[in-house]
Structures are given as structure tokens and as C-alpha cells.
Amino acid sequence: MCSVSVWCQPVISPNGPYIVVPKMGKLELRCQDNATTSGAPSKLRWQRERARRLEGEVEEGGVAYVKVSAAQAYHMGRYVCVNNSTLEHSSIYVYVKDPQNVFQRTMVNNILVRSGENCTIPCLVTDPDVTLMALESCDGQPLPSSMSYRSNLQQGVIISNVRKEYDGCFVCVGQLAGVKVTSSQYTVDVRLVPEVPPVITLSRKDPVILRKGEQFEITCSSVNINPDLNVKWNFPSTAHPDKSHTSHILSGARGYQRATSLLITAVNQSDSGTYRCHAQNERGTSATAVQLDVRGEYQGFITILGPPGPVQADVKEGESLSLRVEFDAYPAPSSMSWSYNGIQILNTTEHFTVCISLLVRVLGSEGGIYKFSASHEDASEEHSFHVYVISKPVIIAQEGPVDGQVRCIAAGSPVPKISWYFCELPHTRCSHLPNATQWETTDVAMVTESTFGRSEVVSRLNVSKEHAHYHTLECVASTVGEEAYTLFSISERIVPHRLFTPLLTGMVATGVFLCLTLVVLLYKYMQKPKFQIQWKVIESIHGNNYIYIDPTQLPYDSKWEFPRQKLRFGKTLGSGAFGKVVRATAYGLCSADTITTVAVKMLKPNAHATEKEALMSELKVLSYLGNHVNIVNLLGACTVGGPILVITEYCCYGDLLNFLRRKRESFLNSQVGDGYHRNVSNQTEPTTRWYVPMLPSEKERSSQSGRRSLLDVEELSLDTEDLLSFSYQVAKGMEYITSKNCIHRDLAARNILLTHGRVAKICDFGLARDITTDASYVLRGNARLPVKWMSPESIFDCVYTFESDVWSYGILLWEIFSLGNSPYPGMQVGSVFYRMIQDGHRMSRPEFAPIEMYDMMLSCWNQDPLKRPSFRKLVERTELMLSENTRNVSRWYQDMTDIFILLCFKDFLCGIFVFIRQNSQLSMLACILQNATGCSRTSWYFWHTACDTRCIGTY
């Protein structure tokens, strides 16, 4: 019994921390106040934890009851008795025991919790005898190592300090009478908490300038790490937007995004002002504004930004100079031009324009006034640059001593100063000697004067007998930090010009003529293109520096030697400036009784020693690479007893570029609809006089007429799956080449050959293509390069790496999915092209390329070489785009090729080829593999029976 001054907790019967009631059993709880007070009786009431619904509450004589005749699962939980007067309370937990459901069934199975908070999984037991209560993942995988939790029979499982990696499905488990019991599944969704206010992006740049009556539309978007994000507009009170729309929360790779848009169909000057977008998350609010300036209908303007008047620009001769003009304009100028050199380059936004004129490797004669002009219907503006070309001083002429006088002519910018020095030592720079004599009296005159470029001056000096003891006279032309000089030999007797007799003059003139002729011939010889092997084998890599192996130092195995008398040459497949590729028949290449069609590379009869060395280097590189199904493999060579012959596989369907163009009219575009014929013959490529197509001969075509085969590519149409297959095969071939530490440097559709089974093979057509007339090769410096296929670092820094081959592969993909169009259509290689490449311009998606394939092209064209995918990654990505059937065939080709190459030289091949012989669809592969390997006479019997006559005659 409590005293009057003490408040006591209500007393609950039955007593104890909990009570167990069977399901459908009777539940009765009694609560009374133990306090003895002189005041009114206490008011007692029952309530349930977390405000759950209370049933069966009854009050009788100051005692509060809970009476339930048939207890259900929802009656389970904690019941609290509260004294309304003192707010003292007591509680008891009620278990509603259900043998069928040891864990209480609940409607709450998805639990949303913020990272850093505690997460309660409400897996409540209906029987207090449950022991060893724990948490497990639904799939039986181990819980995250950092997860910490505690279990409570009356609360469930409480996970402390949840993290995003705790997302997943969980169950509660326990033991009851030695039997494992499991709760229903609970999905935990951990929502990240932002660390900073949201970032805002506006669709229009500040400021926005419009004419009266034009449409103004702007969108404000923001991204947040979770969906708790609000975005709204504040705009001038005088503005009246026609439409305001806020989007729903959208989930994406970067998080959750919400956008809000404003639209004014026809702006008035009252709509001018600041339009501010606010985005709010749990960390705060961000705001970004744009200023709208509405002008009258005829108030366009052009304002040059920067200092007024002409701008002076100094540039050293041979360096590049960028002339940049920035100006505000609205509307965009209809005409912009540079005077003096005619270069016009623009980069225009809605009203802010930057115009640049880039002078590359400025010559001394290119100084002057460059004027930029811009105009539209309401205004016009001009801006001038005074370009001064600073050139080093040079001595352009010297004369004497003649009649006691010497003459020295120098040129430079600014105007060079000429000084004279005497000294007694022969052939020595007098100005570098401490005891040299500087002659002050000189006669200097201007020959030609240029305000912006190089000027010429002449200085004359009289040499008298008082200078007889000197041996050398030096003329020095100097500008700021630079100088040039020439030396004169003087003696006691000044030689008059009368000694120059007509005979001596004729001899000198003849010598000069012969020297000039020799120089011209030497220049023409140096300008002739040199045959160079494109393959580069890497010895080591140090950061961005590649050290290449000299291919002439690679070993050559005499096992490749083949008797040249066993070759019978046929038609020429391709011819270039240095050599040609000829189709030939090889007798006994695999064994004595075999006849194989091959391709033979050879030099022209007038080839130089350097070209012979280059072809020998290519032979060594091919032997170093080894065999692969997606490269043109080496079969043999003839290096003794005559000109060098390189024997390779013969690909009877020619190059991929010409094949794609032939198939345009019958292309089946699966993106339009499977099985529908799409005529793309209107996408013709302009006929070029230089292209040498590698096509099958008429004999081959006629020999194939009337036959159908699974591998007959000439008679089958082309579809998107074929284009994906070509892309995949080239990537596989380049993956192999890269694994051999080799760089191709000229990867393009013209260097991919096709053979039976639509097998694509990488080659280097080098000597059989006349690059001097091939429009794909552009003169850059003293070399002709395939510029449109080259990466920026290869074009501008002459750097060739694995990553530069990846760039070229992206261009090749564009060729494939445009059905043989030339890259960068309609654009000539020049300063504009180079600038667009440097500025990040990339080609648009070809019409027949899937979105995923175009994304892969863009990844190959990343400006940063280190961010481009490897060929291994490209193989994986391309393989995912192939159909399951094509994917299995490609894997089968590769796996079977590897097996046959390993086992070809053993009699074990007999069993394998019997299998091939019994499967007619595999006969063509047998033939392909026969050409890719060198098999014994015993093994050849099975090759011969497996290959059909068509393949043996043409491959």
C-alpha cells in the first residue's frame, strides 16, 4: 500500500512481463490503482503500443478491463494501463499462440529506411519459447560483413546503422522445440541521404534575349540521390506564363530527377525579368536564375566584347595564331566573314557567338590586317587585328670583296641591326673572340620594308689596306634574342672583279645549273611514297611511350619456305605503286597431292632495297603473329632464288568495303521489321577512280551458279545480324593482334577481306594499293596517311597505340553500318576537319546502326585514349548484341579452329575429320582450317574428303 504523497504505478493482473493466450482463446486483462488518496478515484484507461486499435476495454468500479472472447493474431502486442491523473503506467505483452504461424503474419513486407538509421524488421513470434532468433538472407547468401543487428521476441530484428549495401530480402529464423522456424520474407530498401543541396540544370543559358512575340520556353531540372526532391519556379510578378508543368520523379543512372517547365507562347516586354528555379532536398535549397530580356520587334543588335579598336597580335614565324572575336548578338548574324585570307569558322549559340580564325604555321609574308565582319538585318559590326609576324634574322645574300667593298643583305622582323667584326683567325666567328674589332662605320640601307612582316636591309663596308693584317670579316644581323651571321675571307690584296673572266663565269653557271638539277631530282625522289609496313610490334610500354621492335630483327623460320616452281600465277587481285597481289595455285602446299588457291604478294621489278626489306619485315611480322581465324594467315614464302613472294590465304569474296556496297540493294533492315526488304540503293557512294575493289572473278561466280550452300555469301542477302557478325569478327581478330603486342595502324573496311562462311579476316593491303591516287590517304607532312580513320593523338602527335587502333575500329563500325559510305561524308580533310576533331565533333549515328552499337562507336571515339574500351571489352559488348544462334556459331568457329590447329599435325585428326565428313555443313570449315594450317599427308586425306570442290578450287 502506498502513502498519500507517493504515486504508484497501476497494477495489472495477471502479473508478469507477458501472458500467453492460445489463438481463439479468452483474453482478460485487469488494471487497478493501488494509490490511497483522499481525492476522487483515479481514472484508468488501456491503450496499445504504437496506437494500435484496442478492443474489449471495459471499466467496472474503478477497475479497467480488456476482455476478448476469441483472441486473434492482431490482438498480440503490448498493452499499457495509464493513470490519467498521475500519468503513471504499467504494461504487459500478450502472445497469441498460433501453432500454424510461429511468426506473426503481417501485411508489412517492404521496409523503407534512410541510410544511417536503425531498421526494425517486425518478425514477431507468437510463442515465447522460440530461441536462437537470427536474421538470414532470402537466397541463403552470407549477410554483409559490416551488418550488426540484435533480435527481440517482442520487437523483431533491429539492424543498426543501415547502409545502401544492406538492400535486399531477409527472413527471421529461430528454434522451437528443436525445429527451425522461418518468418515470411521482408524486403529492405535503404534510401541514401544527400550530402549537399541539389544541383540545378537550366535548358537555356543566361541571358536569354528575345524579340516581342517570340516563344520562351525553359526547363529546370535537378537530380537528387533519393526521391525527396522539390523543384519550383519564381518569376516576375508582371510575367504571365501560359503553362507551368512539373514532372514526376524519374529514376535514372545518376539518381532521381525532377523537372519543371515554363512556357510563354508570345513574350511581351512585361515578361522581362529574372526567372529563378529553386530545388530543395534534405540538405538545403539551391537556386539558379536566368535573365529574360524582351526587345522590340526591330531592336536587333551586335556588340563586340573586349577593348575597342584594332587588336595587336604578335606571332613568331612558323607558329600558329588564333584570332578570337567574342560578341553579343541577337538574332544570330546572317553573315560572318574574315577578310584577308578567307577563312570562315563559326560556333554559334542562341545569341552569343565566338568566331575564330586559326592561322596555322604562319609564314613571314602572312602578317597584315585581319578584319572580322558580322551583320544581320538590324545591325553590322567590324573588328580588326593587326598581326605582326616576328621572324628570325637571316642572311639572304653576301658579296665581295669586290673593288675593296663587301656587301651583306639580311632580312627579319623587326628590322635587323647589322654589325661588322674583324679578326686575324681564319674561318672563325670574330664576334665570339674577346680581341675582335668591331667596325662602327657602316652604310645601311632599306631594301624592302614591311609594317607587319619581314623587312630586308643591306649594309656595305669598304675594306682598305689598313685591314690587311685581318684574315676574317664577320657580318652579324641581330634582332631581340636572335642573330644570324656570315663570314668573309679577306687578305692583303683585294681581288678586283676583273679576275672573273667569261670562262670562269661560264664554269660557275654550269656548276650552279648542275647543282640545281641534282637538288630537283633529289627532291622528287624524296617526295615519292615509300612502302612501309603498317604493323608495329611493341617491345615495351613506359607510360605513354611505346618502344617498338625493329621488324628486320625478328627471326624468320625456314619452315615457311615453299618451292617457287610449284606456284602457277593467275589474275592480279590488286596493284599499287610498289607491288601487287596475284591469285595463284600452289601444288603440294599441305602435302604432295594437294592443290590450293592462294594469294601471293610480290614487289614490282623496279623495287628498291628498302622496299624489299619492308616486304621481308611484313613476312616476319606475319610469321610472328601466328594463325587466327579472323586474320589473313601466312601459308608460306619464297625468299631465295628470286624475288620475295609472300603466300597467304586467298579470300574469294574480296574486301568488306566493296562487299557492303554490292549488297546495298538487297539489304534487309531488321530495324524496320524482320523479314522486310529495305532498298537502300539510293544511298550510292560517289564513284571513285582510285578504288581497286577485291571482287570474286567471273569464273568463280559462274562456277558457283546453280549451287546453294549455307556459306554461299554471294547469293544470300545481307541483314543487320550480318553487320553485327562482321563487327564481332573484326573485334576478335584485333583482340588477338593486341594480345601479340601488335598495332595495326590502318584498320578500315578496305583492309578486311571476306571468305566462305562470311568469315572476316584482317589484312594490310599496303603495297597493292596506290596511295598517291587513293582519296582515303591524305598528304600530311611528307607522308600519305588515312587521316579520317586516325585518332586525334595519331593525327596531331604521331602517337600510335592500342587505343588509336580502337578509334579506327569505331570508324570501321561506322563504315559497316552505313553499308560502305565514306567517313565524315561531304567533308574534305583540311583545317576545318582538324579543328572539328579537336573540338570533339563526332559523326552521327548511321541509319542501320542499333543504339547500342552507336554508343559503342562513341566510346571508341573518346577524346581521352585511356577511357576508350579495350578490344576484349569490345568483343564482350558486341557478342551481347548478336543473336543466340550467331553467337553459338561464332564460338564454334573459334573453338573448332583452335582444336584443329593444335591437332592437325597428329594422326588424331583422322577421327575429327571423319566427324567433319559426316556433317556436310562443316565441310567448308574443314577447308578453311586446311589453308590455315600445315597438315601431314595422312591428315590431308580427311581434309580432301571434307572439303567440297568449290572451296578447294577457290579458297
Which residues sit in the known binding site for Mg(2+)? 546, 751, 764
Tell me which DSSP letter residue 844 carries: P
For residue 512, CA distances in Å to 407, 508, 518, 685 come to: 21, 6, 10, 51
Q: Give me 777's grid cell.
A: 590517304
CA distance 931 to 635: 7
CA distance 13 to 594: 105
Question: Which residues touch 510 (CB under 8 Å, ≥6 apart)?
Answer: none
CA distance 770 to 372: 42
Contact 853, 809 (CB under 8 A): no
* 736 φ, ψ (degrees, to nearest 5): -65, -45
CA distance 932 to 901: 8
Q: How many CA atoms lie within 13 A of 750 on its CB side?
A: 21
CA distance 448 to 455: 6
CA distance 842 to 854: 11
* Cell 539551391 belongs to residue: 286
Q: In which element (H, E) is residue 623 found?
A: helix 609-625
Please report which residue ranges of 255-359 form alpha helices under DSSP H: none
Q: Give me 797's grid cell.
A: 602527335
CA distance 771 to 755: 25
Binding site for ATP, by residue number, is 574-581, 601, 649-655, 750
Contact 372, 325 (CB under 8 A): yes
Contact 537, 548 (CB under 8 A): yes
Contact 948, 924 (CB under 8 A): yes
Contact 197, 285 (CB under 8 A): yes
Is residue 746 annotated as a catalytic residue, yes or no? yes
DSSP per-residue codes, 731-760: HHHHHHHHHTTEE-S--SGGGEEEEGGGEE
Binding site, by residue number, is 546, 574-581, 601, 649-655, 750-751, 764
Contact 231, 277 (CB under 8 A): yes
Q: How many helices (H) and strands (E) does the chain have?
A: 15, 54
Give the CA angle between residues 597, 602, 603 to the nearest 5°: 165
SS3 call for 473? strand
Q: In which element (H, E) is residue 112 found?
A: strand 110-114
Q: Which of 746, 770, 895, 907 is catalytic?
A: 746
For residue 827, CA distances in Å to 258, 356, 844, 922 come to: 40, 19, 13, 45
SS3 call for 463? coil
Nearest C-alpha neighbor of 732 from the set 936, 839, 877: 877
Contact 881, 850 (CB under 8 A): yes
CA distance 367 to 314: 9
**Considering Cα of 733, then 734, then 738, then 742, what sign does the dihedral take?**
positive
- Peptide bond preceding 414 in cis form (omega within 30 of 0): yes
Q: Give me 348's grid cell.
A: 554559334
HEC assignment per residue over 620-642:
HHHHHHCCCCCECCEEEEECCCC
Q: What's the N-to-C CA distance of the chain in angstroms?
A: 111
Residues marked active site are found at 746
